[in-house]
Chain A
């Protein structure tokens, strides 16, 4: 059974800092890994998707890496801003035939607070 763990559970940093969020998964048989952002009481916003054959993806100040063999991904946020405050979730799509359709397995998330 796939398990996804995110460390740290919460992080508080001053504005302007570069930071790294970590995600690990137990089963390396995945199609892809997605990073999401969730604001309180809201839905999920997709940030980056990394296919299993890729090593990293970049979007603006965000960079996500994937090391499938070790079951790890990191989300790097450069020059953090108060508007980045949210919960960040990683999710993996299992490569398991019919049982993988539409299914993402999520970590518990990292609550990020960026203070001015």
Chain B
């Protein structure tokens, strides 16, 4: 069974630009979560989508947004990029819901560099 895939793997952008990252979950998984990882802040939760609906959101500015499609694939968008947005963006998928057995599986990440 294929794992979580993320594209692109690497991106270089300049300040003020916008970027879209893509995530394809494991087949059958309906929940997709996004995380930002930086050396200073570690891993921080961005948002979670289930059945095309955002169910939860972390403490990030409105420049960070996302969506989920009917096939459970998800995209996240960052507008008006800032230098501090440089990070590894990780996507995770899980079956669904809040069950205690729900295990999250992560993709390889997209490395975003903002110049």
Contacts and interface: CB of A to CB of B under 8 A. Distances in A.
Nearest to A108: B42
A104 B99 contact: no
A10 to B, nearest CB: 14
B22 interface: no
A102 B50 contact: yes
Contact of A44 (B6, B32, B58, B106): B106
A34 B100 CA distance: 11
A28 interface: no
B107 to A, nearest CB: 5
Contacts of B105: 46
Interface in A84-108: 89, 91, 93, 95, 98-108
Interface string B83-108: 00000101010100011111111111
A46 B45 CA distance: 17
A100 B4 CA distance: 21
B48 interface: yes
A52 B49 CA distance: 24
Given A32-B101, A43-B106, 7 more contacts: A31-B102, A34-B104, A43-B90, A43-B107, A98-B56, A99-B56, A101-B31
Interface of B: 4, 6, 31-33, 35, 42-43, 45, 47-50, 55-56, 58, 88, 90, 92, 94, 98-109, 111
